[in-house]
Amino acid sequence: MTDTMADTWHERADGLSIDGRAVIDGERVAAASGAATADVNPATGAVHAEVAALAAVDIDRAVAAARGAFDDGRWSRLSAEDRKVRMLRLADLMQLHADELALLDSLDMGKPVREAREVDVPGAIATFRWYAEAVDKLLDEIPSTPPGSTALVTREALGVVAAITPWNYPLEIAAWKLAPALALGNSVVHKPASVSPLSALRLADLALEAGIPAGVLNVVPGPGGRVGEAIGLHHGIDALTFTGSTAVAKTLLEYSGRSNMKRLSLEAGGKSANIVFADCDDLPGAAETAARGAFYNQGEVCSANSRLLVERRVHDEFVALVAEAARAYAPGDPLDGASGSGALVSRSHADDVWAAITSARAAGSLVIGAERLEIDGSDAFIVPTVVTGLPEQHPLHSTEVFGPLLTVETFETEDEAVAKANATAYGLAASVWTSSLSRAHRVSQRLVAGTVSVNTVDALGLTTPFGGFKQSGFGRDLSLHAFDAYSALKTTWIQFG
């Protein structure tokens, strides 16, 4: 992108008119208390919006609106084809407003607007299209029953679904949850992350414009400790889908048990290993991809391949290649298309990541990075950092940092590689590089991870399920399996003997 393009994005950002009020029952509304919080651009420290800060009383209102919409059938009892048509219209409107949606995510959480525009927004649009198109092709079942009877096994929408989402892919992860939930006919109450609520609010406007009726999609910004708790404990919510940290996921399990046993689908943290065997026949290509796996989106990716396990005899060669490839992720102004990375989501998160980098540097050997930059008055920019030679038991081998820090370990045998890769509380993703098909299968089978990528990293698509093992949570986003989180099977047995 040229300077002119950067100027254009800055002009577009200056021209945005942002409404930070909640969306409840088809209306833009302030919090009942009138409370609002400043929405800060981490790349500049400037406030770009005031956002309603809701509380339990507002959640009651949103849940009542969602329940009303579900019970009177204005969405839930439309034919699947009717819902499909309106969701496809929503996808078209998202396309029309793609620049705006990309800007809102970039301004909120600091990612390069180019990536938001070329990856996140098209991904969210494709997700709405995919679930819209899938829902009228689902088939129910007629199982075998004794003569004189027949049974129908049907997939039923649950009612009111709440979605609590994180800030690293604000629009795209929201789409992963909202699209299948809405396609089935549920009503939704969506709480976006406090630092990145704007694309979700705008999406709800577009949904109304597309003909998704009032009350069906409600967006309730506010602090997780207050709004998230009110949602987690609410007796009027039938299911809760969450993406975020393992700590909050565990709290949601408690809330569900203390309230109405609402169904949970929990996508939590990760600490994913990228294993490189010496027989990989394209080490330069693997190194470029490993750098992407660790540093894309400022390393703020749940399935980031933040641990590199390299067979000892190619360690030095491979680490040098990764260090070179990491330069492509140098941070800069998120609205400038030349920037390989943007700002971390907030100053306080940048402080936490910086503390981890400082600790890694002290205990290991710095290969590249460990620089914190000030750009446009904000010091939330951190240069991609690679550290090798940390002691085996160092906590950074197993603790999620959620920033641009890659730690490197070595191994001698397959057994050692697998043992090290599996030695965390998480099980979200893992990658393996080898030119041996047998080894690829052998190692993949032994890795405890929801997704194993072979000769790539972070493989993900609309057609394949995404989610974790162990404390990375349970339930799956994406693919037809995502419908399971938002529906239950009903048996209707008819005796006609």
Q: What is the Cα 354 distance to its own chain's centre?
A: 23
Stretch that binds ligand NAP, among 82-90, 106-114, 152-160, 267-275 (CB under 6 A): 267-275
Q: What is the Cα 452 distance to its own chain's centre?
A: 18
Closest approach of ligand NAP to the CB of residue 177, in Å: 10
3-state secondary structure of 276: strand
Q: Is 302 a catalytic residue?
A: yes
429 near ligand NAP (CB under 6 A): no
Q: Which is nearer to ligand NAP, 132 or 268 (CB)?
A: 268
Residues 6 or more apart from 14 whose CB is under 8 A from it?
none
270 near ligand NAP (CB under 6 A): yes
353 near ligand NAP (CB under 6 A): no
Closest approach of ligand NAP to the CB of residue 164, in Å: 5
Q: Which is nearer to ligand NAP, 51 or 134 (CB)?
A: 51
Can you tell me which residue has the tokens 């290993």?
273
Can you tell me which residue has the tokens 């809760």?
240
248 near ligand NAP (CB under 6 A): yes
Residues 157 to 176: which contact ligand NAP by CB under 6 A? Answer: 164-168
Partners of 474 in the β-ladder: 266
478 near ligand NAP (CB under 6 A): no
Q: Which is nearer to ligand NAP, 57 or 494 (CB)?
A: 57
Stretch that binds ligand NAP, among 74-82, 99-107, 222-230, 279-287 (CB under 6 A): 222-230
Sheet holding 385-388, edge to edge: 365-368, 385-388, 405-411, 307-311, 273-276, 429-433, 451-454
Catalytic site residue from 115, 300, 302, 409: 302
CA distance 455 to 457: 7
Q: Which is nearer to ligand NAP, 108 or 311 (CB)?
A: 108
Q: Is 229 a catalytic residue?
A: no
- For residue 416, CA distances in Å to 272, 410, 412 come to 16, 9, 7
Q: Which is nearer to ligand NAP, 332 or 342 (CB)?
A: 342
Catalytic site residue from 100, 172, 267, 409: 267
470 near ligand NAP (CB under 6 A): no
Q: Which is nearer to ligand NAP, 166 or 404 (CB)?
A: 166
Residues 371 to 400: which contact ligand NAP by CB under 6 A? Answer: 400
Contact 128, 134 (CB under 8 A): no
CA distance 133 to 87: 9
CA distance 310 to 44: 38
Can you tell me which residue has the tokens 């004794």?
146
Helices 98-109 and 3-15 cross at an angle (nearest 10°) of 90
Closest approach of ligand NAP to the CB of residue 405, in Å: 14
Q: Which two tokens stand for residue 93?
A: 């409107």
Contact 267, 473 (CB under 8 A): yes
Q: Up-side HSE of residue 161: CA atoms within 13 Å toward CB? A: 31
Q: Which is nearer to ligand NAP, 168 or 385 (CB)?
A: 168
Stretch that binds ligand NAP, among 97-105, 129-137, 243-251, 411-419 (CB under 6 A): 243-251
Which of 45, 68, 213, 223 touches ligand NAP (CB under 6 A)?
223
245 near ligand NAP (CB under 6 A): yes
CA distance 380 to 109: 11
402 near ligand NAP (CB under 6 A): yes
The full DSSP string for 181-195 is: HHHTT-EEEEE--TT
Which of 37, 194, 241, 388 touches ligand NAP (CB under 6 A)?
194
Applying CB under 6 A, the residues found at the interface with ligand NAP are 164-168, 191, 193-194, 223-225, 228-229, 232, 243-245, 248, 251, 267-270, 302, 400, 402, 428, 468, 472
Positions annotated as catalytic residues are 267, 302
